[in-house]
Amino acid sequence: MAGSSPTLRLLVGLGVTLLAVTAFSFYALSQIHGLRRLQREIVDRNRKDSLQLIRIQNDLNSLALSLRDMLEGSEPYPLEAYAVEFKRIRSDLEDAFRLEKELSPATRLPDQQNAMQASLKRLWDRTDQMFALAASGKEGEAKQMIRSQVLPEQAALTALVARLLVANNEAEQQTADRIEAIYQGVERNVYYFLSAVLLTITAMSLYLIRANKRIFGELASLSRQRQVLAQKLISVQEDIFRSVSRELHDDFGQILTAIGVMLRRAERKGLPENSPFRSDLLEIRETAQQTLEKLRSLSQTLHPNVLEDFGLEKTLEWYVRQFEKQTGLVIRYEKRGIGPLLKEKDAIHVYRILQEALNNVVRHAQVAEAEVLVEYTDEGLRLSVEDHGVGMPDPRPESVRGLGLIGMQERAELLRGRLRFERPAQGGLRVALEIPFREAAV
């Protein structure tokens, strides 16, 4: 009937769940770190690089505009007058190229970078030559140079920069796609993880509920078995006590009484008053009489016949008085109200509870007085045995639940009643039994 304990399985379940949560937390954190790195190292850097490329494009456009102005000669200045403007654009371009080189993304090929640098260098070389020609008064040759060499180089460089911008955009798009894929992966895994955790928790809870139910079932059944056994024991004990008591009283009592009668008859059979045989017979008769009294007393202790003859109330009172005589305990006995007669088979349990409670007072309470109250109420019978002695140790250790207390409890349950061990205000112990008439009355 005993099933295995669920503790080990629950511990394993708990361990697996904790491990899964830890592993998933590490996974989620590493994904977040990865995302942050992608964002910082690729996307942000790419954008900054693109800004520099756009700046370069602007400068190159300004340069082209100035070159066209120089060619069309719409302004009334000599070509040399443009040198200041070119210097400004050049310094800005140099700065932009330097920054752009620092920021250039990882996808940039060295060839592309070199080609751009070379083109820039060619552009400045040709511009310098062009201004040199203009300075020496060869405006016509200078313009020819603008047309055939400077402008084409500017256009080539502009095209190169535009290609790099497009490449940057593509790289950014790819990174955005990667980031999106990571987000989707994490999201999917969160759903899987949550489902797995919910499933595990549900399975564990179901298992726990089932195990609990089984354990409680086993406990209830064990408790029932124990109760049945204890009550069986009590009733067998009562049967044996009753039959031994009857045997002693009826059979052996009869025999001893008969022996006494026969001895008395023998005494009278003409024996002289002072014959030693007669005094022997007298002695034997007295011994038989004493044995008969002891036998009756033993018979009463085993099972009080007074219960059958006079009912519970009288028996309790008789026992209390007898107990006082035997032990010297002073007992205040009180009976309140009147009630129906209890069946003998129920009354014996009340009697035994009183017996045990009074014996406990003498054995454990360390007092010389006790109170016994028998009370009939509308609902049933109440018996309380109270002393103001040392009381039960508190909290009551397991060892204190001796067989006497358990026996009292079992008898109370046999009566469908309730037995409580209370501490009166003055200290000590009150054993309070309550039994309903409905169950116990005749």
Ligand X SMILES: Nc1ncnc2c1ncn2[C@@H]1O[C@H](COP(=O)(O)OP(=O)(O)O)[C@@H](O)[C@H]1O
Q: Which residues bind ligand X (CB under 6 A)?
A: 360-361, 363-365, 387, 389-392, 400, 402-405, 429
**Binding status of residue 327 toward Mg ion by CB under 5 A:** no
Please give the size of the binding site for Mg ion, defined by CB under 5 A. 2
Helix, strand, coil proportions of the chain in percent (round to 5)? 75, 10, 15
Q: And the tokens for 351? A: 């009697």
34 interacts with, out of ligand X, Mg ion, none, CB within 5 to 8 A per kind: none
Minimum distance, C-beta of residue 353 to ligand X, in the bound complex (Å):
11
Minimum distance, C-beta of residue 404 to Mg ion, in the bound complex (Å):
3
Pairing of the two strands 380-387 and 418-422? unpaired
**Judged by CB, which is closer to Mg ion: 104, or 360?**
360
Whole-number Å distance between alpha carbons of 325 and 14 = 67
**Judged by CB, which is closer to ligand X: 361, or 433?**
361
Minimum distance, C-beta of residue 402 to Mg ion, in the bound complex (Å):
6
- Count other C-beta atoms under 10 Å from residue 403's C-beta: 9
Alpha-helical runs (H) found in 248-342: 253-268, 276-302, 305-327
Minimum distance, C-beta of residue 333 to ligand X, in the bound complex (Å):
17
**Judged by CB, which is closer to ligand X: 120, or 408?**
408
**Judged by CB, which is closer to ligand X: 252, or 333?**
333
Minimum distance, C-beta of residue 389 to Mg ion, in the bound complex (Å):
14
**Judged by CB, which is closer to ligand X: 18, or 400?**
400
Whole-number Å distance between alpha carbons of 107 and 127 = 32
**Judged by CB, which is closer to Mg ion: 199, or 400?**
400
The answer to whether the CB of 361 falls within 8 A of the CB of 367 is yes
387 interacts with, out of Mg ion, ligand X, none, CB within 5 to 8 A per kind: ligand X
400 interacts with, out of Mg ion, ligand X, none, CB within 5 to 8 A per kind: ligand X
Whole-number Å distance between alpha carbons of 8 and 81 = 93
Site for Mg ion in 219-248 (CB under 5 A): none
**Binding status of residue 168 toward Mg ion by CB under 5 A:** no
Query: At CA 157, angle to CA 129 and CA 78, rounded to 5?
Result: 35
Q: Which of 298, 307, 310, 290 is nearest to 247 (CA)?
A: 298
246 interacts with, out of ligand X, Mg ion, none, CB within 5 to 8 A per kind: none
**Binding status of residue 404 toward Mg ion by CB under 5 A:** yes
Q: Give the residue, chosen from 360, 365, 408, 419, that forms a contact with Mg ion under the rule CB under 5 A.
A: 360
Contacts of 187 (CB under 8 A, 6+ apart): none
**Judged by CB, which is closer to ligand X: 133, or 429?**
429
405 interacts with, out of ligand X, Mg ion, none, CB within 5 to 8 A per kind: ligand X
380 interacts with, out of Mg ion, ligand X, none, CB within 5 to 8 A per kind: none
**Judged by CB, which is closer to Mg ion: 145, or 329?**
329
**Judged by CB, which is closer to Mg ion: 157, or 362?**
362
Site for Mg ion in 286-315 (CB under 5 A): none
φ, ψ (nearest 5 deg) of residue 384: -130, 135
DSSP 48-79: HHHHHHHHHHHHHHHHHHHHHHHHHT-SSS-G
Minimum distance, C-beta of residue 425 to ligand X, in the bound complex (Å):
16
Pairing of the two strands 369-376 and 380-387? antiparallel
Residue 326, CA distances (Å) to 75, 211, 322, 348, 403 in order: 145, 55, 6, 21, 23
Minimum distance, C-beta of residue 228 to Mg ion, in the bound complex (Å):
23
The residue length of the chain stands at 442
* Interacting residues toward Mg ion by CB under 5 A: 360, 404
